[in-house]
Structure 1
């Protein structure tokens, strides 16, 4: 009954199929605004679904409360207190009883409160009666997370609003693995290949290298945005952006140590919101630190790319990141992996297939170690494709650009065993 046309898979479908279907549905759902939602459930199924919804990143701004009881319980609770932006009410009552109970609720409901009813009868005439009585939506149990979040999105997200751009966060499994270099090259490739506007945000305020890699020394950048959130709008953002090429702009880091850079957990989220509204693609160069703000930012990004080199410490850190991010983002695709600096002479390495087995993925790209090419590009302030357009690394950068923007799909790998590296991971 929703505009997003969410449907449950048949009950005989496998659990993995259900999860993949919901992940595909969620890609079309925008983050919900800062609203208050109260749920009144009569079945454990809806209670569990709402608990899972509360953990989804798209509901990060939603103030959600889950209560037992149906329509009458809601009427009693709000008899002496204001109602929230949205009420989700489960009921097993027959049609006439439900209409009567909703009439009692209407007497205590604020005029701007929206109501969604979760029923157990698939009845078109009942649906029409409820809509005539002011109910925003009627959905039939059992409901999935996609059903619930889709209905809320239909009610509170303006369908005529400009779509949000795609955000891609690059982070290294360890310092020095080349995550920033790959992020910068990916941003340049997207802007050059697709003639699409891209904003690159260098979030390593103390040691960021985007200004060096693009041979630019702007006087303003991301520091002014994060330290002046009250001034942050499209006009202020435009003043802070530095043009790197026709379609690529940069929020540069100051790369100075004249002060410390300690941030609140949500310090960078307003910046992410505004750059997503102003560019189809935003590339986030996230430093290799684990703090409240990096965790929040990685949770909020649409895609995450982890860069690692093929050694044991990187494997341990990568697996920890994968495991943690899968828990924080249970309804999103897992992070993507780039293996970088592969084939360094005289360095013992873990083979790529052995490295990826515990992660149960295929690498997005395997980048060979090429010190002359990367060194020349870095020292001249150019991208790899500018220095050597025909090199395999430039081709890999183009492939990465296609996948992270959704223009191509990464290969899927069947679940692999973990036995091959459990001994290595157990070492200290």
Structure 2
């Protein structure tokens, strides 16, 4: 099977690593890829946001399966274009991808499906913003209704900061969603689906804030770990029954079947499970810790989802142990990341490239805000965490920034579920 991966981040590098170990995958390409993916996958030039270009590349490269990593090409309709070219594609249609492309759309789907989520107030102007903030009270949650690369939400007790974020989005021509605050720890749970059958993967936890102690601005994610030793028993079964399957069933009922990777961002609140958001693709950096623990060959799993045969796929198999990934970011991330700096040690085991390129002399250089995702697997979370930070120490990037507390609270048993009211 010839597999083409679309994207250029650490998520796509992790996908390529997993796909390259699948005996059924006989050829692998990543477009446009990065300095790390080219070591295991054939590079190809493409504008990932152009559905016609993606489909043309898939056809010319003779792909049997296309795996679309980022949300932008999905929301633009790249999966539709690939399927119209007669090629199997792992990724939802343009219509179905609106579950990530529009938070208001996702709320309508959840309401119809009876999925538990935060109350929300759509905002179209400054006066509505003020009214919604009055209704919710602090802490305030203000979201960009559209795609924002994981950085479009402000959670704050500072009303002025909430108003400023809402005004900024509105002035840029976007729509705003104000939500009630959800207490409790957050969980990321991926599910592979063909639009009918749903197979959940391992739950993981992302660290969204830039700095230690969950301080600083929101980012695309500074690290992650899996599995979650503090998660309540039966969590995955509960999410499958109350969130994932009802959502997939509702999308199919609407005539907008969701096939691909459905990502549920969840909060385990004092009032029970609540959906924070849906994404329409593998999350980054959670993918970097979930896939190393998956024993089931990835190519066959994604092909079954892309071809509507997931019900016939064998049960998923998982390795024992845990995985931790630590993101190494460029100075100035996320506001104004500096790029072009040389990177050394990036070819070591477990180092996944996020924002890198190779210059004419063969030097790996930073090319984005998140530069590397350094990943390790261990017999337990403490061992995986120690190994990941040992690998971080072997990387050199001038003035780089990373958190030193990824998975630390879980290792130390400091994550607790809020008591019911």
Q: Which of structures 1 and 2 has the bigger CA Rg?
A: 1
Higher strand share: 2
Q: TM-score, normalised to structure 2's length?
A: 0.24
Higher helix share: 1
